Amino acid sequence: MTSPEPEEPGLERLRRQDTRLDHYIDRYAARAHGMTASAIRALFAVANRPEVVSLAGGMPNITDLPLDVVGSVLNDLVLADGRRAMQYGSGQGEPMIREAICEVMRLENISAHPDDVMVSVGSQQGLDLLTRIFCNPGDVVICEAPSYVGALGVFRSYQCEVVHVAMDEQGLNPSALADALRALRRAGRTVKFLYTIPNHHNPAGVTQSLDRRLELLHLAERADLLVVEDNPYGLLGFEGEPIPALRSLNERQVIYLGSFSKTFAPGFRVGWVLAPHAVREKLVLAQEAATLCPPVFSQSAVAAYLANHDWRGQIKVFREMYRERRDAMITGLSSHMPAGTTWTYPQGGFFVWLTLPPGIDSHAMLPRAVTARVAYVPGTAFYADGFGSRHMRLSYCFPTPERIIEGTRRLGEVLEYEARMLEIFGTADEPESDRRALGPREAPGPDQP
Amino acid sequence: MADNGYLQTVIVLSGGLSHERDVSLRSGRRVSQALRSRGIEVVESDVDSTLLSRLTELTGSVVFPLLHGEAGEDGALREVFELMGVPFVGSVGSACRVAFDKSIATTVVGAADIRTPTQVALPYETFQELGAGVLVKALGDQIGFPMMIKPSRCGSALGCSKVTRAKELPAAMVGAYAYGSVAVIEEFVEGTEVTVAVVDRGDGPIALPAVEIRPDSGVYDYTARYTAGATRFLCPAEVIDSVTNACADLALQVHAVLGLRDLSRTDIIITPAGEPVFLEVNVAPGMTETSAVPLAIETAGWSLGKMCADLVHAAAARGGRSNPLRASIGARW
């Protein structure tokens, strides 16, 4: 039934409203104050349209997943074990998936016992819980420059200060890290951990060499620096065997985050944390406070898939598919990018990191790109300190090779137009000097291809 | 009792391919919910290749377009509705073409003796042909600082910036041209920011109570508009009655002069001397949770659902072809 309303309300009903259109405005925690709408992020709503070639999102391409196998596994799971799988479970995660996780980690030389593993709701939650148990507001987390937007969002939500440290073509630069640590300790700052993505970095596309990993760990030992290794892409390298994980080279100093999102499918939300006993105990308590337990059905589904399907073979299928897309991206960039543009050459994973010709601002250019029906993520999304406008991240994981090449063609035209603008109006101030409070809010959501 | 009368269905159109797609989707969801609360059957639709066949299938339906930005506010889609004889809420295509383009709207409104800011509209090619340095100097000399730079055809404050010195102008121009090939450069008018909605439920346009806008940041940009809590709204505006009336009169006059229909929202600055100055008009104003028009409707004593239902009924009664425009200016609230 609808409420009765007068046809003509009349002047006597006119009372001034003084409102912010948010009844709870005075009740939010301080950490919520930065949660604002972003015009750039809103543009990614357009990226969903089929007319737009989106090179922005990081959605894995699971077209090659054998749905008949997955369907059969899920059907058997419900019929044979449904009452357990649909019930509450352990806050640490179910034993059979933790055993399977240890088998998966062995591919990257990690030797672990299932008791060392805690299952999380995606590795994103694992990172969130780690930050929750380690970081007080104002603590420093060291990240690569650039770093994963999802991680920056977690650190921001716990009011950490992020200090970025330079990378090169081999990943995190150890001497830059050493310099940063010295400066922070001189300033009396509390550094809680280093967050690093050693393999096929998101967004930079680079991989830490084995020598670099050893150097990094040596420094971490000397400085007693905790290292959080986030490794969703380690098994998606295109050449040779995976490089040993940091965790396999140092058990004491490294906490490891793993995920099935890219090697199986993200929708199940199954990740894990491999941590020393004392840390793990606290993580489990934090997990129980957050979710009671990670989803038992999802864990059971993933475990059943691993037990009943050639998952190693499936990863190979994914690798070849992503390699083809990487090649299309590199071909497209080589053909269509204007002079002065450079990019990383990823040996695996999903992403290429572009450096634009001087004066071009990827953040300011995105609306023009959307008009030209191509989307990317401006580099500013991957920095907590406002830098990154001379860069952009391009993903090749989801579109077809043909669409990837078309996307680079459109992007090339946009860059040429932008360069014309710069010629007309004079070279802009070096964008890196124009810091803005941007960062994680400027990226698309995970459900955007 | 449902008040959908003889209506089959309302097709709420939102999304589209503009930079304001996200805002449009939110407006569409809110209006859809509001209409359903009145017992009206609603189909929510994006603008894509299935739209025309959907319009053909749903005979007797009325379209409520909530597309913001180009391809929604520039009139093209409304021309298609008229061609197909589909009744719709809002202004006809030709009126939208004039209203949506700030350079044209300001000129037409100014010619009707409504105060407007001094304004120049320039495509980027003009800077290329004449030389940016020379033009930037001329703009500074003739318009003066501070000035506002805006894309000529865009909403939600996208691409807009306030420029206080010549050095900032080139980057502001590039920012505006990111949203379109023509930008307007206009004098910055200091004062109180208000917006006035005009609605016509079938018996002539009336101006709703003015909404005064006070963003915490001092700038009513995209973030201030769409982050709940970031802006303080006062409705009716906290100004004396004569100024309130002047704003309402201005909005009604703009609605009439531009040949608008059903619903419009005029943005105004009230100078310290109490004079309202026209800034721009919207033919598809936002209806999100942080938008001004729903607040004005609620302050006036209606629910959003009642107002939207009335607009839909008026459109249905009108049918699918343009009616002669009303000659009267209309009534203020």
Q: Specify whether the CB–CB gap between B300 and B122 falls below 8 A.
A: no
Structure ipTM over 0.95, yes or no: no
- B203-237 pLDDT, tens digit each: 999 999 999 999 999 999 999 999 999 999 999 99
State yes or no: pLDDT of B2 exceeds 50: no
Tokens found for residue A226 = 């905790």
Q: How far is A16 from chain B (nearest CA, A)?
A: 5
| DSSP designation for A33 | T
Looking at residues B142-157, what average pLDDT do you find? 95
Residue in the block written with tokens 């055809």: B153
CB-based contact A295:A86 (threshold 8 Å): no
Q: Please, which residues have CB within 8 angstroms of residue B218's CB and are 6 or more apart in sequence? A: none
The pLDDT score that the predictor gives to residue A8 is: 56
In angstroms, the CA B160 to CA B174 distance is 11
| Residue B198's pLDDT band (cuts 50, 70, 90) | very high
- φ and ψ of B250, to 5 deg: -60, -45
Determine the residue among B1, B18, B19, B74 to mutate to test chain A binding: the one whose Cβ has the most chain A Cβ atoms within 10 Å: B19
As a whole number, the mean pLDDT across chain A is: 93
* Chain A residues with beta carbon closer than 8 angstroms to that of B68: none
Q: Which residue of B170, B180, B236 is in closest CB contact with A14?
A: B236
Tokens of A208: 């830490």
Give pLDDT tens digits for B13-41. Answer: 999 999 999 999 999 999 999 999 999 99
What strands, in cross-sheet order, belong to the sheet with A117-120? A117-120, A271-274, A254-259, A227-230, A191-196, A140-145, A161-168, A171-172
Q: Once rounded to an integer, what is the mean pLDDT over residues A31-55?
A: 90
Residue among A15, A21, A425 minimizing CB distance to B228 = A21
CA distance to partner chain B, nearest, from residue A448 (Å) = 13
For B3, the 3-state DSSP assignment is coil
Task: Please give, rounded to a whole number of angstroms, the shortest distance from the CA of B290 to a CA of chain A.
Answer: 6
Which of B124, B303, B305 shows the shortest C-beta gap to A421? B124
Report pLDDT for B327. Answer: 39
A-chain residues within 8 Å CB-CB of B221?
Answer: 39
* Record: contact A43-B301, CB cut-off 8 A: no
Report in angstroms the alpha-carbon separations of A416 from A55, A336, A373, A374.
Answer: 18, 10, 15, 14
| Contact at CB, B230 and A365, closer than 8 angstroms | no
Q: Is the CB of residue B52 less than 8 Å from the CB of residue B33?
A: no
Residues 18-57 of A with CB under 8 A from B: 18-22, 24-25, 35-39, 42-43, 45-46, 49, 51-52
**Is B302's Cβ below 8 Å from some Cβ in A?**
yes
Please name which of B288, B284, B194 lies closest in space to residue B244, comparing C-alpha atoms: B194
Q: How far is CA A99 from CA A112, A113, A302, A329, A385, in A?
A: 9, 8, 12, 37, 40
What DSSP element (H or E) covers A257? Answer: strand A254-259
Residues of chain A positioned with their CB less than 8 A from the CB of B38: 2
DSSP 3-state of A394: strand
Neighbours of A84 (CB within 10 A): 13
Contact, B212 vs B193, CB < 8 A?
yes
Residues of A in contact with B158 (CB under 8 A): 39, 367
Helix (H) or strand (E) holding A402: helix A401-425
**Residue ranges of A 219-278 with Cβ closer than 8 A to chain B:** none
Residue A370: helix, strand or coil by DSSP?
helix
Distance between CA atoms of A411 and A404, rounded to whole angstroms?
Answer: 10
- What distances in angstroms separate CA A320 from CA A64, A72, A239, A325, B130, one per listed residue? 11, 25, 10, 9, 53
pLDDT of residue B322: 58
What is the arithmetic mean of pLDDT over A239-244?
94
Q: What is the pLDDT of residues A314-368, one digit of tens each?
A: 999 999 999 999 999 999 999 999 999 999 999 999 999 999 999 999 999 999 9
The CA distance from B106 to B108, in Å, is: 6
Q: How far apart are CA B173 and CA B327, in angstroms?
A: 39
pTM: 0.92
Instruction: Give the span between the Cα atoms of B261 and B315, in whole angstroms.
Output: 10
Task: Look at B133 and A39 and tell me if their CB atoms are within 8 Å.
Answer: no
Residue A92: how many other CB atoms lie within 10 Å: 20
B77-131 pLDDT tens trace: 999 999 999 999 999 999 999 999 999 999 999 999 999 999 999 999 999 999 9
Q: Which residue has the tokens 């990191």?
A: A353
Q: In what order do the strands lie in the sheet with B119-123?
A: B119-123, B182-187, B147-151, B161-163
Please report how the helices A311-336 and A401-425 are oriented relative to each other, as an axis angle in degrees rounded to 10.
30
Mean pLDDT across A186-213: 98
Give residue-wise pLDDT tens across range A250-280.
999 999 999 999 999 999 999 999 999 999 9
Q: Across the interface, do B230 and A20 touch by the CB < 8 Å criterion?
A: yes
Provide the shortest C-alpha distance from residue B72 to chain A (in Å): 14
Q: Is the pLDDT of residue A109 over 70?
A: yes
Map tokens 């105004």 to a residue. B268
Residue A75's pLDDT band (cuts 50, 70, 90): very high
Instruction: Return the higher-pLDDT residue of B331 and A290.
Output: A290
Residue A405 predicted with pLDDT over 60: yes
Bond into B146 cis (ω within 30): yes
Computed on alpha carbons and rounded to an integer, the radius of gyration of chain B in Å comes to: 20
Q: In degrees, to the nearest 5, what angle opens at C-alpha A439 toward C-alphas A433 and A445? A: 145
How many residue pairs bridge chain A and chain B with CB atoms within 8 Å of each other? 141
| Contact residues on chain A for B295, CB-CB shorter than 8 A | 17, 19, 21
CB atoms within 10 A of CB B322: 15
Side chain identity at residue A321, one-letter code: M
> Best mutation site among B21, B167, B211 for testing chain A: the one with the most A CBs within 10 Å?
B21
C-alpha distance from A162 to closest chain B C-alpha (Å):
24
- Chain B positions in Cβ-Cβ contact with residue A433 (cut-off 8 Å): none
Model confidence band, residue A5 (pLDDT cutoffs 50, 70, 90): low
- Mind listing the pLDDT tens digit for each residue in A137-193? 999 999 999 999 999 999 999 999 999 999 999 999 999 999 999 999 999 999 999
Q: For residue A431, what pLDDT is reported?
A: 46
Instruction: Give the residue among A55, A46, A47 at the shortest CA–CA distance from A336.
Output: A55
Q: Tell me the three state secondary structure of residue A214.
A: helix
Task: State how far the Cα of A87 lies from the Cα of A435, in Å rounded to an integer.
Answer: 50
Residue pair A191/A226 in contact (Cβ under 8 Å)? The answer is no
What tokens does B54 get? Answer: 């959907």
How far apart, in whole angstroms, are the C-alpha atoms of residue A380 and residue A365? 12
Predicted pLDDT at A12: 46
Does A434 score more than 60 pLDDT?
Answer: no
| Closest CB to A365 among B124, B127, B178 | B178
Asked if the model's pLDDT at residue A435 lies above 50, the reply is no
**pLDDT attached to residue A81:** 97
Cβ <8 Å between B1 and A2: yes
The answer to whether the Cβ–Cβ distance between B39 and A2 falls below 8 Å is: yes
Q: What is the pLDDT of residue B321?
A: 66
Closest-CA distance, B65 to chain A, in angstroms, reads 18
Residues of B in contact with A18 (CB under 8 A): 232-234
